[in-house]
Amino acid sequence: MSGAALKTNQHYTAEELDRYVSENDVILLSSNSGELFTDYNREYKVLMELEGYFEQSGNEKAFREKRAYVLEKA
């Protein structure tokens, strides 16, 4: 799965997602707080893919180009 993008509306196990973030520079946003990797068999659906995000550091606001995925427990 390295290099290939996750697909919107597809389900992935937490184990697959863990492997994916280890091999790719991405951000995962999950609806279940800090429990994403507590059960490797739990499945998550990719709701949305984003090209990047806005970040504020001090008085600076900047767009960061970094792929991000919004996930939901399936």
Q: What is the pLDDT of residues 29-41, one digit of tens each?
A: 998 878 889 999 9
Among 2-6, 36-40, 59-63, 66-70, the least confident range: 2-6
The mean per-residue pLDDT over the stretch 67-71 comes to 96
The mean per-residue pLDDT over the stretch 47-56 comes to 94
69: nearest Cα among 15, 2, 24, 38: 24
Supply the pLDDT for residue 34: 82
Supply the pLDDT for residue 31: 83
**Any idea which residue has 């792929």 for tokens?**
67
55: nearest Cα among 72, 68, 39: 68
Supply the pLDDT for residue 4: 85
